[in-house]
Amino acid sequence: MDGAVECTHCRVVMTSWSAPGSPVRYWQCPFCGRTHSSLYGEVFRRRAGARKVGALPPARTPATLPAASADDVRWAGVRASAARWFARLEADEVLNGVGSRTVKPATSLDAVPEADPRDVVLIGLGKRRNGR
């Protein structure tokens, strides 16, 4: 098979190799790692993961390589900051024992225990003092 093969998932040219003396050729995407073989021509005919392209594209210069936008870089920083904050919060919960405590809400009034009358304390107004 002449020409280059492109990964239909990542839209990049796949690397190619074959064993010495073997008619079988292999292609692998450098990004997603999908590998295809020349034995399975239907992959290329149906473009199911790989497709033939004409000649190899010219080598790219660093200026033409795809780069992350300023918005992508900013959001990556926000996600990293949030991940650090959540990790610190979890570490504090473990340190304070909050994470190990689970409180189950009562599902019905039958599950709520009744108070013992000996534990009930009556709170009332104190005697009023003169001058106050």
Tokens found for residue 102: 């689970």
Question: CA neighbours within 13 Å on the CB side: how many for 130?
Answer: 0
State the pLDDT confidence band at 79, using cuts at 50, 70 and 90: confident
**Cβ atoms < 10 Å from Cβ of 54:** 8
Backbone angles phi, psi at 37, to 5 degrees: -120, 150
Average pLDDT over residues 77-98: 86
Q: Tell me the domain boundaries of the chain.
A: 4-53, 68-99
Note the pTM of the prediction, 2 decimals. 0.39
**Contact present, 68 and 62 (Cβ < 8 Å):** no
pLDDT in tens, 38-49: 888 777 777 788
- Residue 101: predicted pLDDT: 52
